[in-house]
Chain A
Amino acid sequence: MAHSAINVFFSGNNFSRILQGLWTSVWIAGVSLVIGLVLGTFLGVLRTLPNKIIRFILRLYLEFFRIVPTIVLLFLFYYILPRSFHINWPASWMAVLAFALWVAAEFSDIVRGAIESVPIAQKESGLALGLSKVQLFRYVLLPQAVQLELPATINLATRVIKTTSLLMMISIMDVIAIGQQIIEANNQKYPTAVFWIYGLIFFLYFIIDYPLSVWSKRLAARQDR
Chain B
Amino acid sequence: MKKNKSRNIIIGVLVVLIIAVAAFFGTKSSKNNSSNANESSVTTIKKRGVLRVAVFGDLPPYGWVDDHGNRVGYDVRLARQMAKDLGVKVKFTQVNANNRVDTLNSNKADIVLANFTQTPERKQVVDFAKPYMKVSVGVISPKNAPITNASQLKGKNLIVNKGTTAENYFTKKGGVDLLKFDSKTQQFNAFKNKRAAALADDNSYLYAWVKKNPNYTVGIKNIGPNQFIAPAVKKGNKSLLNWTNKEITKLANKKFFTADYNKELKPYFGKEVKPSDIVLN
Chain A residues packing against B (C-beta within 8 Å): 11-14, 17, 56, 59-60, 63-64, 78-80, 82-86, 88, 91, 169, 171, 173, 177-178, 180-188
Contact = CB atoms under 8 A, between A and B. Distances in A.
Contacts of B64: 181, 184-185
B76 to A, nearest CB: 13
Contact of B108 (A63, A80, A82, A188): A82
Contacts of B57: 177, 180-181, 184
Which 9 pairs of residues, A with B, have the shortest CB-CB distance? A12-B67, A184-B58, A84-B26, A181-B65, A79-B106, A12-B68, A82-B106, A83-B106, A11-B67
Which of A11, A12, A183: most chain B CB closer than 10 A?
A12
B267 to A, nearest CB: 10
A187 B60 contact: yes
Contacts of B69: 12-13, 17
B33 A86 contact: yes
B15 A80 contact: no
B94 A85 contact: no
Contact of A83 (B15, B95, B105, B212): B105
Contacts of B58: 180-181, 183-185
B65 A83 contact: no
A88 B93 CA distance: 14
A4 to B, nearest CB: 15
Contact of A185 (B27, B65, B93, B105): B65
B60 A185 contact: yes
Interface of B: 11, 14-15, 18, 25-27, 29-30, 33, 57-60, 64-69, 93-95, 99, 102-103, 105-108, 212
Contacts of A82: 106-108
Given A12-B67, A83-B107, A187-B60, A60 B93 contact: no
Most buried by B among A83, A180, A182, A187: A83
B67 A171 contact: no
Nearest to B18: A60
A17 B69 CA distance: 7
B106 A173 contact: no
Chain B CB within 10 Å — which of A12, A84, A173 has the most? A84
Contacts of B99: 169, 171
Contacts of A85: 26, 29
A11 B68 CA distance: 8
B65 A84 contact: no
A60 B60 CA distance: 46
Contacts of A11: 67
Given A79-B105, A83-B107, A177-B94, 4 more contacts: A12-B69, A83-B105, A183-B58, A188-B212
Contacts of A88: 107-108
Nearest to B92: A171
A186 B99 CA distance: 24
Nearest to A56: B11
Nearest to B57: A181
21 contacts: A12-B67, A13-B68, A13-B69, A59-B11, A60-B15, A60-B18, A63-B11, A78-B108, A79-B106, A79-B108, A80-B26, A84-B29, A85-B26, A86-B29, A86-B33, A171-B93, A173-B94, A180-B57, A181-B64, A184-B60, A186-B67
Nearest to A85: B29
Given A83-B107, A171-B94, A173-B94, A185 B66 contact: yes
A83 B94 contact: no
Contacts of A86: 29, 33
A63 B102 CA distance: 27
B60 A14 contact: no
A83 B22 CA distance: 13
A183 B68 CA distance: 13
Given A185-B65, A188-B212, A171 B103 contact: yes
A218 to B, nearest CB: 37
Given A85-B29, A187-B60, A171 B108 contact: yes
B59 A184 contact: yes
A208 to B, nearest CB: 23
A171 B60 contact: no
Among B26, B59, B66, B69, residue most surrounded by chain A Cβ atoms (within 10 Å): B69
A201 B238 CA distance: 44
Nearest to A16: B69
Contacts of B66: 12, 185
Contacts of A78: 106, 108
A185 B62 CA distance: 11
A80 B95 CA distance: 17
Nearest to A67: B15
Nearest to B19: A64
